[in-house]
Amino acid sequence: MRRYLPVLVSIAFIIALLLFVADYRGMFETKKLLLGSLNKTRSCAHLPNFLQGLEKPIVIDLTQQRFSGIAFLYGKRHHAFYRKDWARFGSFGTYTLDEQGTIFLAPMPFISIKEKTFERQKSLYRIDSDKGVLSLWKTLENVRPSASNPYGIISLVYDCENNALWVGAIDRSDYRKANGRIYRIDKQHAKITQTIKGFDALSLALGRTEDGTITLLAGSAKDGGLYAFRLSSDGTAETPEKLFELPDPKLHIRKIKVIGRNEIIVEAIPFSYALIAQTSKQYRVIYRAQYTPRTGRWNIKHVE
Amino acid sequence: MVGVAAAVILWFSSVSSEPQRVLSNKIEETIILPKGTPERFRQLPEVTRYLHDLSSLRRQGKTVLPLDNDELDHDGTIAQAIVLNDSRFLEDTTRNGEILHNDMMQVRPAIVSELTAKTQKICKRHRCYEAQKYNFATNTTTRAIIDIDTKNVLDIERFSDSQPDINRRLTRIAEAIALGAPEVWKALGYRPARNELSMANVRSSLQGSPCENSEHLCVAPTFADHKKARALWAIVDLTDLKLAAAKWAGLGKTTTPACIDERTLQNRYIMRNFCQKDTHLQKNGWEFIYRLTGSDGLEIRDVRFHGHPVLRSAKIVDWHVSYQQASDAPIDTSTEAYIEGRRVEFVQERNGSYFFGYNDAMGCPMFSTSVVLPFNGPQIVSLTDGFAISQDFRNPKWPMACNYRYENRFEFYNDGSFRVVGINKGRGCGDQAIYRPVMRIDTALSDTERFFSFEHGKWKLWQKEAKARQNDGGYEEGKYRFKITDTQGHGYRIEPGSGKFSDGGRGDDARIYVTRFHPKEGDKDLLTLGSCCNLSEDGPERFMKPPETIADQDIVLWYVPRIHNDARSGHEYCWADTHIDANGNVKVEVWPCSVGPRFIPLQKER
């Protein structure tokens, strides 16, 4: 027996080595599926011309606390610039700016349901850069909010390199299933060019991977995850990949900001598809997420 | 041998991780909400002793319950004595002369890396200790650094909305509550022993407090069932000394304590059991189904008594909340206004005063237009001569100002009578509130129903859709204002609330509307109905334009009481307030107001 021991040990060693290599290769292959490093995209957002004369900084106020619709707070003392007709389409939840300074706005139901509340959740709105006139930009007839889910269009971001708006709607989802859609809308023709089904995007943002690919980032309304959709060369989105999940299951990502290489700040809120959505600042929890390419992991830290 | 060992390790590592992941995905989450009152846990020896210690402490005029000696080493005992005599450390332990509940949680050698540069210098040369106390009333942790050699407190920091690691005394109490909860025994199928319980990773459970109320101190003792790769997490609220909730879940990543806060568990439990499906109840000759709606609160449907149809549906579709204010200046209503993040409506009166307020919809906690959320699911409550089904709805921050709590309640009596009840538990934005719950009561006596009001000593049959005030006409036998029958004369007399129901109610001052049944007029979920603050309208008027014939038709009653709240000391009504209780914790005191009509069968009267 002693004679065969070195042989057995050698065989065992070789088997172990093979297993290790196989396992390592598996890890390597898994890594290849990961998004990898992420960086900021070039921002083309331009300050609307009608705000040019105001003292900086200028903050867009969608809190609905003092003003319905949209208002601009400017200067160190936060003076308010507001027009009554900016309340004509009810409350807004988020916005994006294009290179001409046009503000595109997504609606948001707010506490009390009124006769036009559901109808307003189907449309995107815009404020033109020169005169500050608020108007309806595009209505998505497929979006149908109801008493059992009062939300419709909820998120948007502008991709200036592809001249397209990415818009998230969550009206069709119920307790059991995410039936939301993300639409890619060609800005020039206001035409839907792609629909991604089955994803409830509470927030949208853009990032750029190491190989230069633009990536659509989406905070899920169903879980606390941040997902990434690579955009192919024609600007359409591929299958999503989950980057990370927030440690608190009550929270969902409402705002995403890629602040630098492999570094993202997200603002999260409790969200349950009911009108009790706690969007005000006191309920917002901010996390900083950092990606380590060596480990392929995101490290999530509570900031405030 | 190295190779063999490596092969064995690799083999087992690959085997042991995979089944856990797969199994954890397969375990279906089961949520258990406690049924009994929290008082039952006060009988546990650990809890009794703790309450006795707190009581003794207060009698001695001391403000912080110290750590027991078994948790302290020699220097720790010195450090605790120093810090408990330091006025800065103790300065948040009283409020308006009342002692707040404070416990010492940790006293241990200070870790130099966690110190400030200044204290680091001192603590490199001296023996330093770190002491932590927790203020249960304000949810604040205070940390002190003590120099044992000079007997000085070097540094004090307070962390609001922050909870420390708990001490051994509280660990034992949490274990005792988890082990002593019948809900845990039932879930496990037996009464567990202490050695089956683990309190591992307590600190992480506190990073997001798992309590319903995040301002409470909570921990999550766990019972692992390795054979089935699952664990029972018991959430224990150490502020209220009770079991808050429990959950069966797999042993996977998503079941760490931080992921099972009570509110999330309640939402899931309520959605699955009462929003996604109807529940059938049969009791004392009564039979019906009940469910939670998207915005119309708790609804009962298809109600029968000994097989005879009574109600097609009953529910409270809205609470109109308005506040009256005097004003000399005209109110600018051209733009919307918000209080506490909620849209406020203003209605100006001719006399210069104005009303402002909200419409509060109650309903499912998720996927709804509800702003006042259900807690604990519907409860069946025994009455001396019947039973009731009730649902508690609360704004998450109740009883803070501009937050509300309502109860929807349906009482069923053994004599065949029943009552639809709305209960308001404050607190609202002020003491000038007028609450108007809109009750929709769809009787099912037959397709040809008749409605009467008692006028000038006689019953008057209503021919067309109309409205009446409770207090405008007379009462038969001093209490019956209305009645509803079929064409054979079978039906109910209706007794509006007039302070005689022995529930503290001061009368309903109700408006009643009778409309012809149309499915689109509230048989399904109704969104906000009418104005919160225009007191000349309650909402159902919109279904009476133009008035339709209702005699010998299928009809619906809308009953809208009008309640004025009262915040005067000794006269409180529809009100809630907080005070510091005997243990130094914040307690809520409630003065509910109950409204709603009782329906008494005519057959019985004969």
Note the pLDDT tens digit of each residue in B46-63.
Answer: 999 999 999 999 999 899
pLDDT at site A167: 97
How high does pLDDT run on average in chain B?
84
pLDDT at site B337: 52
pLDDT at site B344: 54
Residue B260: pLDDT over 60 = no
pLDDT at site A77: 87
**CA dihedral of B578, B579, B580, B583, whole degrees rounded to 10:** -80
With respect to residue A108, please indicate whether it lies within any of the assigned structural domains.
yes
Mean pLDDT (whole number) for B493-522: 95
CA nearest to B264 within chain A: A250
Q: Do A13 and A67 share a domain, yes or no? A: no
Sheet holding A92-97, edge to edge: A92-97, A103-107, A123-127, A134-139
Q: Note down the domain range covering A22.
A: 1-33
* Shortest CA gap A61–chain B (Å): 14
Contact (Cβ atoms closer than 8 angstroms) between residue B601 and residue B417: yes
Locate A282 and state its tokens.
């006191």
B26 pLDDT band (50/70/90 cuts)? very low
DSSP assignment of B386-451, as one string?
A: EEEEEEEEE-TTTTSTT-EEEEEEEEEETTS-EEEEEEEEEE-S-SSEEEEEEEEEEE-S-SSEEE
With respect to residue A299, please indicate whether it lies within any of the assigned structural domains.
no
A115 pLDDT band (50/70/90 cuts)? confident
Q: In whole angstroms, what is the distance from residue B344 CA to residue B359 CA?
A: 9
Q: Do A104 and A19 share a domain, yes or no? A: no
With respect to residue A166, please indicate whether it lies within any of the assigned structural domains.
yes
The architecture (CATH level 2) of B273-605 comes to: Distorted Sandwich (2.70)
Residues paired with residue A79 on neighbouring β-strands, in sequence order: A74
Identify the helix (H) or strand (E) that includes residue A71. strand A71-74
Mean pLDDT (whole number) for B117-126: 90
A19 pLDDT band (50/70/90 cuts)? low
For B361, which DSSP code?
-
Q: Do A112 and A126 share a domain, yes or no? A: yes
The per-residue pLDDT for range B205-252, each reduced to its tens digit, is 333 444 545 577 888 888 887 777 778 888 888 888 988 888 887 665
pLDDT at site A217: 96
Q: Do A92 and A209 share a domain, yes or no? A: yes
Which A positions 253-282 lie with beta carbon below 8 A of chain B? 272-276, 280
Is A84 in the B-facing interface, judged by CB distances under 8 Å?
A: yes
A204, A229, A248 — which closes off a domain?
A248
CA nearest to B268 within chain A: A175
pLDDT at site A303: 86
Is A244 in the B-facing interface, judged by CB distances under 8 Å?
A: no
Q: Do A80 and A130 share a domain, yes or no? A: yes
Task: Cite the beta strand spans of A153-236 per DSSP E.
Answer: 153-159, 164-169, 181-186, 191-197, 201-209, 214-220, 225-231
Which of B296, B367, B524 should we substitute to test contact with A (largest number of A Cβ atoms within 10 Å)?
Answer: B367
**Looking at this protein, which amino acid is placed at residue B360?**
D
Which of A74-83, A244-253, B113-122, B555-564 has the highest average model confidence (pLDDT)? B555-564
Q: Do A127 and A8 share a domain, yes or no? A: no
Interface contact flag, A87 B336, Cβ < 8 Å: yes
Q: Do A29 and A40 share a domain, yes or no? A: no
With respect to residue A197, please indicate whether it lies within any of the assigned structural domains.
yes
Q: In whole angstroms, what is the distance from residue B161 CA to residue B140 CA?
A: 5
Residue A25: pLDDT over 80 = no
Is B342 in the A-facing interface, judged by CB distances under 8 Å?
A: yes
Number of domains forming the structure of chain A: 2
Contact (Cβ atoms closer than 8 angstroms) between residue B170 and residue B65: no
pLDDT at site B79: 96
Give SS3 for B552: coil
What ipTM goes with this model?
0.74
Q: Where in chain B is the domain with CATH 3.10.450?
A: 68-160
Q: Do A29 and A55 share a domain, yes or no? A: no
CA nearest to B403 within chain A: A276
Is B289 in the A-facing interface, judged by CB distances under 8 Å?
A: no
For chain B, percent of residues with pLDDT exceeding 90: 52
The per-residue pLDDT for range B31-41, each reduced to its tens digit, is 788 877 888 89
Which has the closest alpha carbon to B294: B369, B209, B373?
A: B369
pLDDT at site A20: 59
Q: How many CA atoms lie within 13 A of B174 on its CB side?
A: 27
What is the torsional sign of CA B336, B545, B467, B295?
negative
pTM for this model (two decimals):
0.75
Residue B338: pLDDT over 70 = no
Q: Do A61 and A182 share a domain, yes or no? A: yes
Q: Do A11 and A43 share a domain, yes or no? A: no
Contact (Cβ atoms closer than 8 angstroms) between residue A29 and residue A41: no
pLDDT at site B353: 62
Could you tell me how far CA B578 lies from the centroid of its own chain? 15
With respect to residue A275, please indicate whether it lies within any of the assigned structural domains.
no
Residue A236: pLDDT over 80 = no
Mean pLDDT (whole number) for A199-209: 94
Q: Do A24 and A161 share a domain, yes or no? A: no
Q: Do A6 and A143 share a domain, yes or no? A: no
Give SS3 for A279: coil
A204 pLDDT band (50/70/90 cuts)? very high
- Lowest pLDDT segment from A21-25, B131-135, B487-491: A21-25
**CA dihedral of B39, B40, B44, B48, whole degrees rounded to 10:** 20
Which has the closest alpha carbon to A276: B376, B436, B295, B258?
A: B295
With respect to residue A294, please indicate whether it lies within any of the assigned structural domains.
no
Is A135 in the B-facing interface, judged by CB distances under 8 Å?
A: no
Which of B203, B332, B336 should we substitute to test contact with A (largest number of A Cβ atoms within 10 Å)?
Answer: B336
3.40.33, 3.10.450, 1.10.3470, 1.10.530: CATH of B68-160: 3.10.450
For B24, which DSSP code?
H
pLDDT at site B23: 29
CA nearest to B364 within chain A: A274
Q: In whole angstroms, what is the distance from residue B305 CA to residue B32 CA?
A: 31
Residue A108: pLDDT over 50 = yes
How high does pLDDT run on average in chain A?
86
Is A6 in the B-facing interface, judged by CB distances under 8 Å?
A: no
CA nearest to B209 within chain A: A248
CATH number where A156 lies: 2.120.10.30
Residue B335 is nearest to which of A87, A110, A147, comparing CB atoms? A87
For B5, which DSSP code?
H
pLDDT at site A33: 40
For chain B, percent of residues with pLDDT exceeding 70: 84
* Shortest CA gap B337–chain A (Å): 6
Interface contact flag, B343 A64, Cβ < 8 Å: yes
The per-residue pLDDT for range B393-433, each reduced to its tens digit, is 988 778 887 788 999 999 999 999 999 999 999 888 777 88
With respect to residue A163, please indicate whether it lies within any of the assigned structural domains.
yes
The per-residue pLDDT for range A125-138, each reduced to its tens digit, is 999 999 999 999 99
With respect to residue A29, please indicate whether it lies within any of the assigned structural domains.
yes
Contacts within 8 Å (CB) and 24+ apart, A6-14: A8/B4, A9/B1, A9/B2, A9/B3, A9/B4, A10/B3, A11/B3, A12/B3, A12/B4, A12/B7, A13/B2, A13/B3, A13/B4, A13/B6, A14/B3
